[in-house]
Each structure stands twice: as structure tokens, then as C-alpha cells.
């Protein structure tokens, strides 16, 4: 069974990542965290005896088949590089690094050593997003013309951080990956408009341009309650559109005829709207957030099996789009995406 060492035992790892990881055919063989209490809590929970106060020490100790990392962006790049140099496949949470240059350096290293480095863009694996993505991937949908999205959060974490670094790196970076993934095309330009309602409450309207001429607009901000739905995506083609609401409902609109004047009107599965919602009373894990699917893809990547895991090259591209958005916030101009 695959032996995985994990670095970072905070709330996110303990509540979101590790519970999904241990459902897979792996053994959590070692844990590392600089906080002794957090380390002990998670190690006791999963019965892990190999405990390290330093991630580098865990990597150097050996006896692992792969490493997972969920700490901070600067440490992600440093620790992932250390693991790759030891020949270990790596999973790192987003953001993969503090800068696109650091992420690209990590991508170059992963290519050099020939080991997978998977990035935690779990939104690709949310059941609803996967359904939407498969509809959009089908040639029958045709060219994608536009995307509209909302991806909000609350001011809880940002009131004391008015430069919004955490919001941009940890929250907005998801959109930098999901937008081109849904549109099936790399972003070419970004134009961001911003409005600070008050310290800690930021609003962004971000326009994305594509070489095909397609357009996308995403509203992001830190001024909504986390107790309400925060996420919505719509992709439109020619007489077709797909909507994902709150990562649990998919609507696929086609071009049905008007029904009011037709006494024989019925629902036509080839033209009328299709709707998917999960059965929340079922015992199955619907994977609304996508962590299980993401980590399953990581395990397949480690095993050398076919997979669609987002890798560090995807992470570097997302970081370049994010940095272009940040430049646009300062300049007010449309900013091109750097190639590297």
C-alpha cells in the first residue's frame, strides 16, 4: 500500500484533506507540523507513530512513496522542491507558491526529475463542476462564447489584512484555474476593477479575454456572509448554456420550442432543460467540494496510471493569471498574461 507522508496538520488538512485521503488505498505513514499540539491531535486521530516537527526532516527520513503538503505558499514551493529532489511525487495545496516565478521553477524541477507534482485545484472535481465540464467538453456543445461567475467570501479573515494578500492567493487563485478549465482555453488578458467598501470588504469585477474572442467576467469579493451560497458559474455557447449553482446543482439549457400554443406540449429530452441535484440523504459521498476526486487523481498519478490531475504547470499558469489581475488592479489597464 502506498505510504504517504503529510506536512501540515492545520484545520484545513484535518477537516478537508486527510479525511478524504484515508478513504483511498494509501497508508498515512508520517506526519509533520511545527505545532506540537496540532501534530499530536492529527497523529493520534489516524494512529501515526512517525511524527516530525519539521517537514524537511520527514522528507529526509525516507520510507515514503509520496508527500502531501498543506501549509503556506512559500513553504509549499520549498518543501515540494525538497521532496521532488528526493524522487518523491508531491501533492501541494493551492497556491503552489508565493509567486508565479517560484511556481514555474517548481514546474521545471518536476519535469526535470520526472515526478508528478499535483496542485490542489479541487474545484475541477466538485461533482457539479465535473458534470458541467463534461457537457462543455462534448463537441456537441460547440464553441464557448462567454462565462459569468460569482465567487465570494466573507471579511472574517481580511479585516486585519487590508492588502488582501490572503484573499488573492488563497481565494481568487481558484478562479484563475477554473475559468480556463471551464472555457477549455487559456486566458490571454485580464482587466480588473476594484472597489473597497470599507477596510476588509473588497469587491472585484474581473474580465478575462481569450484568443478565440470569447469573454469571461467573474465577480469576487470579501463582503458576503459565509452562511449564504457563495459560488455560481454560467458558460454560454450558441443557444446553449450550463449553470452550476452553489456546487450542488447543474442546469443545462438548450433551445426548446415555445409550448404555450402547443396542446401536445411535453418535455423533450433533446431540447428541454436538464437539471441535476444530488440526493443529500444518500449514504454516498457526492464530493461536492471535490477533495476526494482530486486526491484520487493524485494517487493515480503517483501510481503512473492515467489521470487528469492539475499539475504544477497548471499551478504556474494560474499564478501568472493571478499576477496579471493584481497588476490590473493597480494600473486599471488590460494586462496580458506572461508566457512564463
CA 144 to mean position of chain CA atoms: 21
Q: Count CB neighbours of 191 within 10 A.
A: 19
Distance CA 22, CA 6 (A): 12
Is-contact 275 251, C-beta < 8 A? yes
User: What does the pLDDT read at residue 90?
Assistant: 98
Distance CA 54, CA 9 (A): 12
- Range 232-255 average pLDDT: 97
Residues 6+ apart with CB under 8 A from 325: 168, 172, 176, 190, 192, 204, 206, 335
For the chain, give the mean pLDDT.
95
Q: Count CB neighbours of 124 within 10 A.
A: 21
Residue 156 has pLDDT above 80, yes or no: no
User: What does the pLDDT read at residue 259?
Assistant: 93
Considering only 81-95, 158-172, 226-240, which range has the smallest mean pLDDT? 158-172
Would you place residue 161 in the very low, low, confident or very high pLDDT band (cuts 50, 70, 90)? low
Is-contact 79 66, C-beta < 8 A? no
Q: List C-alpha distances in Å: 180 to 147, 188, 211.
A: 10, 10, 12
User: Strand 189-198 vs strand 335-336: parallel, antiparallel, or unpaired?
Assistant: antiparallel
Distance CA 318, CA 179 (A): 10
Residue 158 has pLDDT above 70, yes or no: no
pLDDT tens digits for range 305-340: 999 999 999 999 999 999 999 999 999 999 999 988
Q: What are the boundaries of each domain within the chain?
A: 2-122+291-311, 126-277
User: What does the pLDDT read at residue 163?
Assistant: 77
Residue located via cell numbers 501533492: 91
Residues 6+ apart with CB under 8 A from 201: 155, 158, 221, 222, 223
Give the distance between the most distant pair of CA atoms in the chain. Answer: 75
CATH of the structural domain 2-122+291-311, one choice from 3.30.2090.10, 3.40.50.720, 3.30.1330.40, 3.40.50.970:
3.40.50.720
- Range 169-178 average pLDDT: 97
The residue among 279 and 43 whose pLDDT is bigger is 43
The DSSP code for 27 is E
Sheet holding 249-253, edge to edge: 274-276, 249-253, 241-245, 231-236, 146-152, 215-221, 201-209, 189-198, 335-336
Buried b (16+ CB within 10 A) or exposed e, 141-154: beebbbbbbbbbbb
Global pTM reads: 0.96
For a pLDDT cut of 70, what percent of the chain falls above it?
Answer: 98
Is-contact 147 234, C-beta < 8 A? yes
pLDDT tens digits for range 25-78: 999 999 999 999 999 999 999 999 999 999 999 999 999 999 999 999 999 999
Is-contact 191 206, C-beta < 8 A? yes
Burial status of residue 207 (CB atoms within 10 A of its CB: 0-12, 13-18, 19 or more): middle
> Does domain 126-277 sit in CATH 3.30.70.580?
no
- Range 15-26 average pLDDT: 96
Residue 162 has pLDDT above 70, yes or no: no
Q: Comparing C-alpha atoms, which of 60, 41, 51, 73 is closest to residue 6?
A: 51
Strand partners of residue 203: 195, 221
Distance CA 167, CA 202 (A): 9
Residue 157 has pLDDT above 80, yes or no: no
Burial status of residue 226 (CB atoms within 10 A of its CB: 0-12, 13-18, 19 or more): exposed
Considering only 18-22, 157-161, 193-197, which range has the smallest mean pLDDT? 157-161
- Count how many residues are written for the chain: 340
User: What does the pLDDT read at residue 304?
Assistant: 97
Amino acid at each position: 500500500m502506498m505510504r504517504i507522508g503529510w506536512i501540515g496538520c492545520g484545520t484545513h488538512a484535518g477537516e478537508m484533506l486527510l479525511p478524504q485521503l484515508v478513504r483511498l488505498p494509501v497508508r498515512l505513514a508520517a506526519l509533520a507540523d511545527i505545532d506540537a499540539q496540532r501534530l499530536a491531535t492529527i497523529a493520534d486521530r489516524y494512529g501515526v507513530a512517525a511524527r516530525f516537527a519539521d517537514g524537511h526532516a520527514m522528507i529526509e527520513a525516507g520510507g515514503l512513496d509520496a508527500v502531501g503538503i498543506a501549509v503556506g505558499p512559500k513553504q509549499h514551493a520549498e518543501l515540494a522542491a525538497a521532496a521532488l529532489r528526493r524522487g518523491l511525487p508531491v501533492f501541494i495545496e493551492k497556491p503552489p507558491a508565493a509567486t508565479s516565478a517560484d511556481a514555474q521553477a517548481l514546474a521545471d524541477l518536476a519535469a526535470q526529475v520526472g515526478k508528478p507534482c499535483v496542485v490542489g485545484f479541487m474545484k475541477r472535481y466538485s461533482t457539479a463542476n465535473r458534470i458541467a465540464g463534461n457537457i462543455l467538453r462534448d463537441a456537441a456543445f460547440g464553441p464557448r462564447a462567454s462565462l459569468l461567475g460569482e465567487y465570494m467570501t466573507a471579511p472574517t479573515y481580511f479585516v486585519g489584512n487590508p492588502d488582501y494578500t490572503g484573499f488573492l492567493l488563497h481565494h481568487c487563485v481558484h478562479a484563475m484555474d477554473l475559468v480556463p478549465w471551464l472555457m477549455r482555453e487559456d486566458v490571454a488578458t485580464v482587466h480588473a476593477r476594484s472597489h473597497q467598501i470599507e477596510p476588509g470588504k473588497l469587491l472585484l469585477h474581473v474580465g478575462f479575454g481569450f484568443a478565440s474572442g470569447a469573454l469571461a467576467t467573474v465577480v469576487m469579493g470579501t463582503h458576503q456572509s459565509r452562511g449564504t451560497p457563495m459560488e455560481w458559474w454560467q458558460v454560454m455557447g450558441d443557444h446553449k448554456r450550463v449553470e452550476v449553482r452553489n456546487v450542488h446543482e447543474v442546469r443545462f439549457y438548450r433551445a426548446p420550442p415555445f409550448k404555450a400554443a402547443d396542446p401536445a406540449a411535453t418535455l423533450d429530452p433533446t431540447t428541454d432543460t436538464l437539471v441535476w441535484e444530488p440526493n443529500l440523504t444518500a449514504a454516498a459521498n457526492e464530493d461536492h467540494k471535490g477533495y476526494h476526486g482530486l486526491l484520487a487523481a493524485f494517487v493515480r498519478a503517483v501510481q503512473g496510471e492515467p489521470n487528469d490531475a492539475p499539475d504544477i504547470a497548471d499551478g504556474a499558469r494560474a499564478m501568472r493569471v493571478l499576477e496579471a489581475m493584481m497588476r490590473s488592479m493597480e494600473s486599471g489597464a488590460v494586462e496580458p498574461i506572461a508566457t512564463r
